[in-house]
Amino acid sequence: MGVEMIRSFIIGLDSYYEDKDDFQILDAAQNLSEKMKDFADLNDEIKRVNEVIIGNLQAGWMIYNRNLYLITRDKNTWWESRRECQKEGSELVSIETQEEQILA
């Protein structure tokens, strides 16, 4: 009865499996199950990244051109600023375009 339920489900997804034996149906179900787990893991990672981004935005970071920037008025040396950035898992940027300069 369980295999028939799985068969019905798999064939409902893809009629290719209509004439396949139980082992092929169960293999397809296993592959589908693994893909669903991969998607669930990916979804968890996306949620984690979103939480980090939201936290950064709430802490004063800004989005520009698909990048996050934190602009501070701290008076540090370049090396101190770089070290602070690296502690945050980021890099100290060099402003290279007029658009970035306007953002700053």
User: Which amino acid is residue 77, in one-letter code?
Assistant: T
- pLDDT of res. 103: 64
In a shared domain, residues 35 and 68: no
Q: Total structural domains in the chain? A: 2
In a shared domain, residues 38 and 76: no
In a shared domain, residues 37 and 71: no
Would you give the DSSP letter of residue 88?
Answer: T
In a shared domain, residues 7 and 25: yes
pLDDT tens per residue, the chain (104 residues)?
A: 888 999 999 999 999 999 999 999 999 999 999 999 999 999 999 999 999 999 999 999 988 888 888 888 889 998 999 998 999 888 988 778 887 777 65
In a shared domain, residues 13 and 40: yes
Q: In the structure encoding, which two tokens stand for residue 96, read together?
A: 């290279």
In a shared domain, residues 36 and 24: yes
* H or E element, residue 10: helix 2-13
Domain span holding position 31: 1-59
* H or E element, residue 73: none
